[in-house]
């Protein structure tokens, strides 16, 4: 098998926590490797950026065991040094769960930027329920916002994005919308205001 040069995912959605990273290092130092790292077909980490970083720090010379899979069959890790019911067994079992729980710190800005804006993915279907689509600069009420970025405006309604540049005939209308909708409003009221404004403009 060819030599792998595993790369970290520079857009990893989990920013991790200080407590979680310390617990992960304690876990690996105490009971060794419990969970594996998964990489893409071009060797970028898909799951396990924090684990790889910890392995590199604590086991820099350890040669990894590479198992190739297309995801259609489960990969089971068998720890030959741990017997069920033993102290080590329960320490490892508990650490596997507490470390995962304490080392989650989802990067909401990156999730919005990559999943929602760039890839137009419905993050609710992926288990993301507590991340607001809107930001603190909300103008149109709950579930909506606008953003000025360089020379264009972006209207965002829930997960729908619409970019308007100055040379677009709608740009003036968008600016007018921003001026007229100074107070937050619900989506139904927003639709009514947009309709009323459009009638007044056209």
Q: Are residues 60 and 98 in the same domain?
A: yes
Return the exposure string of 54-84: e unless at least 16 CB atoms fall within 10 Å of the residue's CB, then b: bbeeeeeeeeeeeeeeeeeeeeeeeeeebee
Domain end position, chosen among 105, 122, 150: 105
Q: 97 lies in a domain?
A: yes
What gap in Å lies between CA 36 and CA 33, rounded to an integer?
7
Among 168, 136, 141, 139, smallest CA distance to 152 is for: 168
pTM of full prediction above 0.75 = no
Q: Which domain holds residue 174?
A: 135-201
Q: Are residues 70 and 147 in the same domain?
A: no
| CB distance 20 to 26 below 8 Å | no
Indicate the range of 21-30, 35-44, 63-72, 128-137 predicted with least confidence: 128-137
| CB distance 99 to 20 below 8 Å | yes
Cα–Cα distances (Å) from 163 to 31, 55, 71, 117, 154, in that order, read 51, 43, 37, 11, 4
Q: 121 lies in a domain?
A: no
Q: 4 lies in a domain?
A: no
- pLDDT, one tens digit per residue, over 133-142 is 444 344 344 4
Q: How many distinct structural domains can be found in the chain?
A: 2
Q: Are residues 89 and 159 in the same domain?
A: no
Q: 113 lies in a domain?
A: no
- pLDDT, one tens digit per residue, over 71-122 is 999 989 999 999 999 999 999 999 998 998 888 888 877 887 888 778 877 7
What gap in Å lies between CA 165 and CA 40, rounded to an integer?
37
Antiparallel, parallel or unpaired: β 152-157 and 144-149: antiparallel
Q: 7 lies in a domain?
A: no
Q: 119 lies in a domain?
A: no
DSSP code of residue 100: H
């Amino acid at each position: 098998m060819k030599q792998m040069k595993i790369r970290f995912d520079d857009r990893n959605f989990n920013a991790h926590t200080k407590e979680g990273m310390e617990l992960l290092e304690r876990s690996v130092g105490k009971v060794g490797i419990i969970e594996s790292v998964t990489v893409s077909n071009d060797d970028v980490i898909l799951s396990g950026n924090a684990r790889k970083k910890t392995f590199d720090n604590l086991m820099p010379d350890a040669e990894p065991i590479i198992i190739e899979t297309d995801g259609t069959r489960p990969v089971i890790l068998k720890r030959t040094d741990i017997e069920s019911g033993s102290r080590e067994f329960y320490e490892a079992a508990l650490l596997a769960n507490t470390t995962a729980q304490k080392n989650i710190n989802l990067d909401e800005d990156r999730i919005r930027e990559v999943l929602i804006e760039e890839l137009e993915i419905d993050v609710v279907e992926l288990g993301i329920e507590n991340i607001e689509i809107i930001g603190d600069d909300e103008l149109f009420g709950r579930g909506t916002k606008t953003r000025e970025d360089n020379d264009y405006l972006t209207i965002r309604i829930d997960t729908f994005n619409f970019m308007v540049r100055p040379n677009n005939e709608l740009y003036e209308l968008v600016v007018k919308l921003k001026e007229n909708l100074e107070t937050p409003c619900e989506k139904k009221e927003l639709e009514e205001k947009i309709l009323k404004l459009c009638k007044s403009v056209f």
